[in-house]
A and B are shown apart, each in its own frame.
Chain A
């Protein structure tokens, strides 16, 4: 089937400006639809979650990545394979907690606000808006589908004057239940 031959990663690349601007127009629309920034943040996270639970299927099908054995491996796959595949960047993994259940992804260039052209500027009256909060939802949703409950949030944001963008990820627990009997 022609669909199968289309599965390579290269053939699925598209213009990122369309993607970035589209994301921007969505954020702008949400700012219109909701009264305060917290609600917008929440909605972005929720939409990201919906995307994440679907995106994981695409990711597993295209990347040939198997089950991760620990959270460090998960971090590697996210930064080096997933971010690379979908957003064309490779964040740095740092700040491991001693217990190994928490780490940070450092994004020098946040792909959602195309750093090359400074598409995005937060107006003064939206100081609480977490512009790229959708990313957190995507990560949470995708990981939930592979039985990992993870807390994801922005710790630093270049849009707010920080020098880098930092996403903090904290492993909460393995989701063990609701597998039908006989399945792995």
Chain B
């Protein structure tokens, strides 16, 4: 299959435009601070679902949640961000922390604490991606992100109890 390639810079700029659109369409509503984040997450969710369907069509089925999350850390991350997640931790009770030490969408912004308060909006789309991907693999979860210092990012996945 001939795979066309896109360019990282173009993707990063597109991503920034999405953020600013979500910000504008959420408006200045004080009661709903998180609306723009949810818009971005929703967009990511759809895309995560679509991607994972295509990426897993030839892979064997997963043994358990951990196996699935490992797939996200290795294959999924490599295909979309060209590197693996650097560190995966779990409490074996449905919480996983995925740490990327050089997260693509933050590398151009800062490598210090500058702009730290701006970081969450740059992560919402990717949280949605992870959530959508896991959702189509049968894991319903919440995904949040935290940035200790740019461009390091920790995504926390909490599997919903059924």
A21 touches B (CB below 8 Å): yes
Report yes or no: B25 in contact with A14, Cβ–Cβ below 8 A: no
- Residues of A within 8 Å of B43, CB to CB, are 22, 25-26, 28-29
User: With an 8 A cutoff between CB atoms, is B8 at the interface?
Assistant: yes
Contact A16 B10 (CB under 8 A): no
**Is there a chain B Cβ closer than 8 Å to A71's Cβ?**
no
Closest residue of chain B to A24, judged by CB? B47
Which one, B8, B20, B39, contacts A14 given CB within 8 A?
Answer: B8
Contact of B6 with A20 in the complex, beta carbons under 8 Å = yes
Cα A109 to Cα B3 with chains together (Å): 12
A selection of 19 A-B contacts at a CB cut-off of 8 Å is A13-B5, A13-B7, A14-B7, A15-B3, A16-B5, A18-B47, A18-B51, A19-B14, A26-B14, A26-B18, A26-B43, A28-B43, A30-B21, A50-B20, A58-B9, A86-B7, A89-B4, A111-B4, A116-B4
For residue A35, CB closer than 8 A to chain B, the reply is no
Q: Which residue of B lies closest to A58 (CB)?
A: B9
Q: Would B6 and A111 count as touching, CB distance under 8 A?
A: yes
What are the 5 tightest A-B residue pairs by CB atom distance, in nearest-first order?
Answer: A19-B6, A16-B6, A25-B43, A13-B5, A47-B17
Contact yes or no, B80 A87, CB < 8 A: no
In the assembled complex, which residues on chain A have CB atoms less than 8 Å from the CB atom of B23? none
Contact with B along A1-34 (1 / 0, CB 8 A): 0000000000011111111111111101110010
Q: Which residues of A contact B3 (CB under 8 A)?
A: 15-16
Most chain A CB within 10 A, of B2, B5, B43, is at B5
A contacts with B: majority SS:
helix
The tally of residues in B whose CB lies under 8 Å from a CB in A reads 34
Nearest-neighbour CB distance to chain B for A184, whole angstroms, equals 26
Interfacial residues, chain A to chain B (CB-CB below 8 A): 12-26, 28-30, 33, 43, 47, 50-51, 54-55, 58, 85-89, 109, 111, 114, 116-117
B66 at the interface (CB under 8 A from A): no
Query: Which residues of chain A have C-beta atoms less than 8 A from B11's C-beta?
Result: 14, 18-19, 22
Digitize B48-92: 1 where CB-to-A-CB distance is under 8 Å, 0 elsewhere: 001100100000000000000000000000011110000000000
Q: Given the complex of chains A and B, what is the CA–CA distance between A105 and B14 in angstroms?
A: 22
Would you call B15 an interface residue if the criterion is a C-beta within 8 Å of the partner chain's C-beta atoms?
yes
Provide the residues of chain B in CB contact with A33, threshold 8 Å.
21, 25
Tell me whether chain B's interface is mostly helix, strand or loop, or mixed.
Answer: helix
Give the CA-CA distance A51 to B16 in the complex, in Å: 9
Residue B113 is within 8 A (CB to CB) of chain A in the complex: no
Q: Are B7 and A12 in contact (CB-based, < 8 A)?
A: yes
| Chain A residue with the shortest CB-CB distance to B21 | A47
Within the assembled complex, what's the spacing in Å between the Cα atoms of A12 and B107?
13
- Smallest CB–CB gap between B25 and chain A, Å? 5
Pairwise interchain contact A15-B6, C-beta atoms closer than 8 A: yes
Look across to chain B and name the residue whose beta carbon is closest to the beta carbon of A21: B47
Contact yes or no, B21 A26, CB < 8 A: yes
Bound CA–CA A182/B11 (angstroms): 36
Chain B hits for A21, CB < 8 A = 46-47, 50-51
By the criterion CB–CB under 8 Å, are A87 and B17 in contact? Answer: no
Partner of A12, one of B2, B9, B17, B81: B9
Q: Which residues of B contact A111 (CB under 8 A)?
A: 4, 6
Question: Which residue from chain B places its CB closest to the CB of A29 in the assembled complex?
Answer: B43
